[in-house]
Amino acid sequence: MNKVKYEDWGLIEYETAWQQQTKLSDALKLAKKEGKAPGEPGSEVNHHLIFCHHPHVFTLGKSGSRDNLLIPEEKMAEEKVTFFKINRGGDITYHGPGQLVGYPIFDLECFFRDVHRYVRNIEECIIRMLDEYGIAGERQKGYTGVWLPPDESGKWRKICAIGVHLSRWVSMHGFALNVQPDLSYFGHIIPCGIAEEDKAVTSIAEELKRDIDMEELKNKLKKHFSEVFEYEYL
């Protein structure tokens, strides 16, 4: 069974986290090239599951459009929001305090070689965790991420965005789960480039109308990742 190292990076600048992800990803790719299995006794290279949260930042995927960023640069500076165009899939999204960001850095050749399955597995982890809070998360055909079905407003509400990057089957980036962020920041973008009037963004706190214990949530989600991806923690 695969072994995965869990790390909680806490509050970390987006650029710093991106650099650290890259180092871990490069180490896995080098180990693969040298024929070394991650997580084995004596190996210094591991699969990683990283949880963290970022100061206010907008990130734009490689296939996204900057037109989906609606706030002028001077306003971003006033509100201390940064912006990065990055190498993951997907369009534009927001990260900020109160949002749980997860970066699985796995050599998928040790798990399975199927990008579609990888994304569906991440969605499944989130859906199972939400179920523990009495929230019925769903997939929506044609879109990635986890959604809640229409409420009285008639809108589908996105609660978790997913955007990944694979190089030599080693994963980077991951998911952004809205636990209890300031949802007003999503008003500065067209989230994930989805402008349909029947789509909106929500959070766990918004749905339950109460504060959420982030540490408890992280422990639940860690468990579901190990079950869905069938690994053990180091």
Residue with tokens 């180091």: 234
Active site residues: 192
* CA distance linking residue 104 with residue 141, whole number of Å: 24
DSSP conformation letters of 156-225:
EEEEEEEEEEEETTEEEEEEEEESS--GGGGGGB-GGG---TTEEE--HHHHHTS---HHHHHHHHHHHH
* CA distance linking residue 116 with residue 191, whole number of Å: 21
| Partners of 192 in beta bridges | none
Q: For residue 125, give the nearest of 101, 156, 98, 146 by alpha carbon.
A: 146
* CA distance linking residue 84 with residue 156, whole number of Å: 27
DSSP conformation letters of 108-153:
GGGT-S-HHHHHHHHHHHHHHHHHTTT---B--TT--SEEE---TT
| Partners of 166 in beta bridges | 171
Side-chain half-sphere CA neighbours of 47 within 13 A:
26
